[in-house]
Amino acid sequence: MRRASRGPALLGVLLLFIQAVPVASQQPTEDEATRLAKATQNPVADLVSLPFQFNFNNGGGLDDRTFFNLNFQPVVPIKGVLEKWTIIARTIVPYVSVPTGPDSRQGGLGDIQEQLFFTPAQAGSVIWGVGPIFSIPTATADAVRTGSWAFGPTAVILTSPGPWVIGALLNNLWTFADEGDDTEVNQFLLQPFINYNFGKGWALATAPIITANWDASDGEEWTVPIGAGLTKTTVFNGRPMSVGFQYYHNVEHPTASASNLFRVTISLLYPSRPKSQAEAAP
């Protein structure tokens, strides 16, 4: 018997979780909504966020089957460790549901990644961050298991003139230790992003994730998507949050992988509370 994708069920659980979080917050003004929207579009912003990214992949080598991937991506700024620098910790915890046959699926965790960006505490017109990325072999689903401990550099650069947020994030991972099998990681990732903010929290966004598996056979290395979508920064149950919907088509992809991606993102936002006059006084 075919097992249905757990994506919609997980989305429902997430909405119940949001409703259960008691917070006291007012609907942001238009300027505040735009400021928050631009902060969510900046991977190294001084903002705690809890993004949930639901990815539905189908077509191509998958035909009418769907490869579901949920990425939980908490982002936490760490201050005070270095005098002139802020450390941005970005963790990626993937859950996957992979079609393994016409009527069968396999679900479980993928490899967890940890990114650390060192970015100047006083940002200029061009914002940047560099640091390491680690991949930990935590996968419980055999279909995505690598068994590899991997490490590499990661970097991000962006600028936000007027209503725009434009930049790119990139990294490369190489295996430095494994659990004894033949699977090794030699993976490149480039994510350019362009956002145009209309005001009132609305934005047109494109953020395709371009990847290359350097160990793949000729013609099977690259996945190159094109597409775009809309995001909205708003308040739900008193919690500032961002919701986005995007569609991408892979103009280049390995034979067995998907050609289409529909992405839904829900990010819970925890902006810093402005200091009162009493707190700000020396």
Q: For every residue of the chain, which 3-state class applies, written as one string?
A: CCCCCCHHHHHHHHHHHHHHCCCCCCCCCHHHHHHHHHHHCCCCCCCEEEEEEEEEEECHHHCCCCEEEEEECCEEEEEEEECCEEEEEEEEEEEEEEEEECCEEEEEECCEEEEEEEEECCCCCEEEEEEEEEEECCCCCHHHCCCEEEEEEEEEEEECCCCEEEEEEEEEEEEEEECCCCCCCEEEEEEEEEEEEEECCEEEEECCCEEEECCCCCCCCEEEEEEEEEEEEEEECCEEEEEEEEEEEEEECCCCCCCEEEEEEEEEEECCCCCCHHHHCC
Mean pLDDT of each 10-residue bin along the chain, 282 residues long: 50 52 48 87 93 97 95 94 93 95 90 97 93 96 91 97 96 90 87 96 97 96 98 88 97 96 96 53 44
Which token pair is 164?
A: 């725009």
Annotation: CATH topology of 7-271 = Porin (2.40.160)
pLDDT digits (tens, 9 = 90+) for 252-274: 999 999 999 999 999 999 987 65
Stated pTM of the model: 0.85
